[in-house]
Structure 1
Amino acid sequence: MPPDLGQGASQAFEDAAALTRHLTGAEPVDVAQRLLCYDAERRPRANGIMRAASRQSRLTSQTGAAAWVRDMLFRAVPSRLAVRQLAALWRA
């Protein structure tokens, strides 16, 4: 998980909560199936956050003229839109 969105530890906490939900009361014979269910639940969100963090990393690591253009474009984005996009990351 790239650190650019500060989500690594948050995703670990979400994983721990999901694992607890899926494994509580499981018999040894049930563990493999429950882990598959956990994976199916968590993978889409975790992969989405990881892709967003990777995009953010590529965007913020630009230098020179590319960084100047990036900064100009960011200044042109209405703050309401920027806040809405960031808030979407934390929706469950």
Structure 2
Amino acid sequence: MPSFAAGRIALLGDAAHAMSPDLGQGVSQAFEDAAALCHHLGHRLGGAEPADVAERLLRYDAERRLRATRMMRAAFRQSRLTSRTGIAAWLRDTSLRAVPSRLATRRLAALWNA
């Protein structure tokens, strides 16, 4: 989608960025979207007057787009990796077994902290 917001309408969760369940991030991203919407529309920033809503929703979009897109791409890559069969699956499994567990743990931690 070109934007999570258009005028006074915003999308969040799967409506804005549906992803495969491979990383277990769908609901987490929806919660992050909701928190960002509350932040941009809520009283902490003085509350949104009707005339301000479209601009504030664009700020929400700017805040959320990069992280949500990164998670969607990571979930897509994980889905492609785990859905392989045959020789591709054997190569995947053999390669993954060769990765030291400390390196794999660091890589996973970097993904979740992105």
**Scaled by the length of structure 1, what TM-score is found?**
0.96
TM-fit CA distance, 1:78:
1.1
Q: How does 1:25-44 map to 2 (within 5 A)?
A: 25-44=47-66
Aligned equivalent of 2:107 = 85
Instruction: Name the amino acid aligned to 2:73.
Output: R
Structure 1 gaps of 5+ residues are: none
Instruction: Name the amino acid aligned to 2:37.
Output: L
Identity %: 76
The superposition leaves residues 2-58 of structure 1 with CA deviations (integer Å, 9 ceiling, x where unpaired) of: 110000000000001010000111111110000100000100000000000000000
Name the CA distance, whole Å, in 1 between partners of 2:112 and 2:96: 21
Give the number of the structure whose residues are more often helix, by fraction.
1
| Aligned pairs, number | 92
Aligned equivalent of 1:14 = 32
Alignment of 1:23 with 2:41, yes or no, is: yes
